[in-house]
Amino acid sequence: MTKYAFKPHDPVSLPIAGTDERFPVRRIYCIGKNYADHVVEMGGDATRSEPIFFTKAAETIVQSGADIPFPPNTSDLHYEVELVVAIGPDDINGGIFGYGVGIDLTRRDLQSVAKSKGGPWDRAKSFHRSAPCSAVTPAENVNLDGARIVLRKNGDLVQASPLANMIWNVEEIIERLREDMDLQAGDLIYTGTPAGVGPVRVGDELSGGVESLERITVRFV
């Protein structure tokens, strides 16, 4: 048995809908610029832009129902609701274990500085508690045909889009990640956000959903 110098952190995991088992999280891959209307709202040219990859640490996961202390060093914290793909072993459902709904929390002010300086996005994207995610619904219980992704802030609809508007669909994203990175069971993929991103403040509640999936609801305190 390995002797650690101090107690390792417990593995990060998410509930799996309908069971008492949990989904052990390995890496979090994120896709940026995957909906044309979001590319445009961020000042980009959707006809010339390609989706991009970045990552968040697994430890940034927040379970649905949590209160999130407002993060430090930002006056422009933004929500981005996203379909999340949960990768499993290759022999289950072709490697797609299930799906969830996530919120890619972004310190937009820090991201703008990073973009202007050509610097990394870690402080903007991979800060503590920056990846709220719903319970994972096993793929056999999911039907995304014609499904829409929506986000409500304090009950008001702020983001809504057919999932079909994704520039790279789920299969294309997985194919590209498999070619380029090391995609393994336990990996989560945040697949990008549609238009309507905006700020959150202390006291706000966010609630995101996709038909046939568990909801993500968090509150900022």
Residues near Mn ion (CB under 5 A) are 80, 104, 193
User: Tokens 């989904």, residue?
Assistant: 23
CA distances from 192 to 30, 67, 129, 149, 150 (A): 7, 23, 18, 11, 13
Q: How far is the CB of 195 from Mn ion (least distance, A)?
A: 12
Question: What is the number of other CB atoms lying within 10 angstroms of the CB of residue 11?
Answer: 11
DSSP state of 169: -
Q: How far is the CB of 178 from Mn ion (least distance, A)?
A: 21
Of residues 22 and 148, the one with the C-beta less far from Mn ion: 148
Q: How far is the CB of 179 from Mn ion (least distance, A)?
A: 21
Q: How far is the CB of 104 from Mn ion (least distance, A)?
A: 3
Of residues 16 and 167, the one with the C-beta less far from Mn ion: 167
Q: How far is the CB of 149 from Mn ion (least distance, A)?
A: 12
Tell me the C-alpha distance between 119 and 139, whole Å.
Answer: 37
User: Tokens 């889009």, residue?
Assistant: 161
Q: Is 91 exposed, middle or buried (0-12, 13-18, 19+ CB in 10 A)?
A: exposed
Of residues 104 and 187, the one with the C-beta less far from Mn ion: 104
* Closest residue to Mn ion: CB criterion: 104
Of residues 16 and 200, the one with the C-beta less far from Mn ion: 200
Of residues 138 and 209, the one with the C-beta less far from Mn ion: 209
